[in-house]
Amino acid sequence: MRMKKSFLFISCEEAKHICDKTQYGEATSWERIKLALRLSWCRVTRAYSNKNNKLTDAIEHLEIDCLKNDERHKIKQQFEEELTKHQYNQ
């Protein structure tokens, strides 16, 4: 006999998936309710959620220094000029 899946209780894997969706603001209200219920009693899901939150916070607070588009374009243009010079010298 097959057990009926509860509409309120979710598996650990489903909870992790909903946790990921919640991080990106993609979880529905019902999914967040089911996740909150799971988090209230499951240590594994709670640990996963805490690690997920720490990772998200770390990424959001990174100060990444990248090239601006005009800088990238200038470097590309210089590279192409040098490449053209070397192709004609061969």
Q: pTM of the prediction?
A: 0.62
pLDDT of residue 90: 66
Q: How confident is the model at residue 1 (pLDDT cuts 50, 70, 90)?
A: very low
Structural Rg of the chain based on CA atoms = 25
Note the helical H segments in 1-90: 12-23, 29-41, 43-60, 69-89
pLDDT, one tens digit per residue, over 21-57 is 998 899 999 999 999 999 999 999 999 999 999 998 9
Q: How confident is the model at residue 78 (pLDDT cuts 50, 70, 90)?
A: very high
Choose between 65 and 56: higher pLDDT: 56
